[in-house]
Each structure stands twice: as structure tokens, then as C-alpha cells.
Amino acid sequence: MTRQPLLDIKDLTVEFGQGHRTSPLRAVDGVSLDIAPGETVGLVGESGSGKSTIGRAVLGLTPVHSGRVRFEGIDVTRAGPRTRRGLSARLQVVFQDPYSSLNPARTIGQTLAEPLLVHRRLDRRETDAHIAEMLERVGMPADTAGRYPGQFSGGQRQRIAIARALMLEPSLVICDEPVSALDLSIQAQVMNLLARLQRELSLSYLFIAHDLPVVRHLSDRVVVLYRGRVMESGPAQVVYADPVHPYTEALLDAVPAPDPRAQRARRAAQAAPKTTNPPADEGCVFAHRCPYAIDICHRERPALLPLPSRGEKQPEGGRAVACHRSGEPARVRGLHT
């Protein structure tokens, strides 16, 4: 029997600017995804792709125009404050900026105690014990609780933010670019910490990032967004090793390579945008940048469909691509642009 998804998003659409004279901006356009218990789904795309807006919509921080969000089997699409307050014990978030996510006027102990005061009736000794245990889990020293955020580095603050998110033992944590503001060496440490905590606490993650190589190390599946639409989805390692959608290829080509010559060759292989005109609503939103675009790409919106078999056994969980030419090998696409 198939297990019920922990998070189930169907045809989610988010618009900004409703009620203004100009047309509203559609930041998220019919996105569907789900996360199983214990699973990590990576949400990847460049700035403005709508990935953080999806996270905020799940958290109730951004209104939903249409579609549905279900969490632990409950429809929370337009849940009120009381329902959201009850959900917060099971649904938490780690934000991007470790410097603005902690109140500089409160000690770390006061910050970590706050969710316990709201949701649980613990005495002072129990609260202190729980705080100490969680700080130890994220690798922070014993005297952390009595100190202020300004006394810690960015990496240490993000560990504290992770501890705060886990205080109420949630089932799902939304990680919104949690390592993008950190140095590379610290990024690796925080990613390893998140992976260990997932194993120990049976957590699920919605991991939002713009860097596909970062996401693939932690994610079971990945969803690639562009202008609010899903371009490609599938098992993270497979999508990284064998991207099908031209936008996924472009994301990978944009990642710096250690060899300068290889980097130059990769960037030279990226075709310049075929037109500077904005994408039409009825066509593929990536068509104006796609080196393989043909007439149908500008006229019809491609549906997100299972990837046609290309001779190999499809990996568990399958792949889906929103591209009119997804069934053609790259060399064939290149001959018929």
C-alpha cells in the first residue's frame, strides 16, 4: 500500500499584485510536488523562479491564489492563525540569513525556550535540559545558551537556527537556502549536519537552493523551477548526471568548474538567448532562451509528462520533463533548431 505523502502540493499558483490596474505577477504557476516521510526533495532554480515563494506558501506566509497544500493529510491551503499555530510544532523552517534570523537582544537560551513555552508545559529544569540536548545535537558548546547571537559566527548561528527549528520535534523542515550565505567549508559542515539529523530524527526536508550540485548531495528527488513552472523532476543523482531539459543543462553549465579551460568550453557551449522578447503565456517560458526552441515551443505550453523511455530502465520514482522535444537526443535537437 502506498504511503500518504507528508506534504502534498497540487497545482499551486501564487500571484502578487492582485487588485492593481496592471496584470498580477504569477510567481508560482501550477506547481505540484509531494514529499514522503523521511524524504528530502530539492527545489532548484535561479533567483525569481518561485522556489522560496512555494516554501512561504506552505508555511502560510504568502497567500495562495489557487491550488491546494496538504500537510499530514490536512488541507492547510488557507488555514487560519489558530490552525497554523498548531501546525508549527510539526512544520518548521530554517531561513537563509543566519544574521537576521536570531533576535540580537535575546540570549540563545531565551530564543530556544520560546517554542517550548508556547506549545509545552515544561518547568525550568526540563526546558534547560531540552535546550542543552538540542545544542549538543547541532555541535554547539555547553555555554551557548547564556550567550547572545552577536558572539557567534555565521555558521554557528545557522546551527543555532537549526536547533530552534528542531525544538518541537517537527516532521518536516523547510530549508530556504540554508547554506548560501556561508563559506564553502562551512556549507559542507552544515549539509553534513542536516543529513545526520535527518537520519537520527527521521526528518523530511524541502530543501530550497539555486545550486543543483549542493542539492543533489542531500536530496532524494529534485524539482527544477523556471519562472514559476516545473521544468524537470526526478531522482536527484539521475537528473544531475543526465539532465534532459535545456534549462537544467544551463543550470549545470553555470556551476564553476575547477579547470579554467573546461569552464570556458562549457560556457562557450551555452547559446545566447535567441530573442530578448519575454516569453508568451501560451508557450514554454524558457523558449526565448532555449537553443533548441522550435515554433511549437513559442505557441504551446508543454505539459509536465513522464520522460519517454530512452532504452534504459527508468529509475524508481520516475522522471518528468516539460519539454516538447524531450524524446529527442540532444544531438538530434541540435540538428533541427
Q: How far apart are CA 216 and CA 231, in angstroms?
A: 17
- Residue 112 main-chain phi, psi, to 5 deg: -75, -25
pLDDT of residue 206: 98
Report the predicted TM-score, pTM, of the whole model to 2 decimal places.
0.89
Fold of the 7-226 domain: Rossmann fold (3.40.50)
| Whether residue 286 has pLDDT greater than 50 | yes
Inter-residue contact 93 to 164 (CB < 8 Å): no
Domain boundaries defined on the chain: 7-226, 243-335
Radius of gyration of the chain (CA): 22
Q: Which of 113, 118, 142 has the alpha carbon at shortest distance from 128?
A: 113
pLDDT of residue 185: 85
Which residue's C-alpha cell is 539532465?
243
CA distances from 18 to 78, 133, 278 (A): 17, 46, 21
What sign for the dihedral angle of Cα 131, 137, 142, 148? negative
Greater model confidence, 101 or 144: 144
pLDDT of residue 80: 86
Q: How far apart are CA 16 and CA 26, in angstroms?
A: 7
Inter-residue contact 37 to 204 (CB < 8 Å): yes
- Give residue-wise pLDDT tens across range 64-93: 999 999 999 999 998 888 888 888 889 999
pLDDT of residue 234: 95
CA distances from 170 to 82, 129, 166, 269, 319 (A): 18, 18, 6, 44, 29
| Whether residue 188 has pLDDT greater than 50 | yes
- Give residue-wise pLDDT tens across range 248-271: 999 988 776 666 666 666 656 554
Residues in CB range of 231: below 8 A, 6 or more apart: 224, 225, 245, 247, 248, 286, 321, 322, 323
- Give residue-wise pLDDT tens across range 207-237: 999 888 888 889 999 999 999 999 999 999 9
Name the DSSP letter for residue 271. Answer: P
> Mean of the per-residue pLDDT values for the chain?
87
211: Cα within 13 Å, side-chain hemisphere: 14
| Whether residue 28 has pLDDT greater than 80 | yes
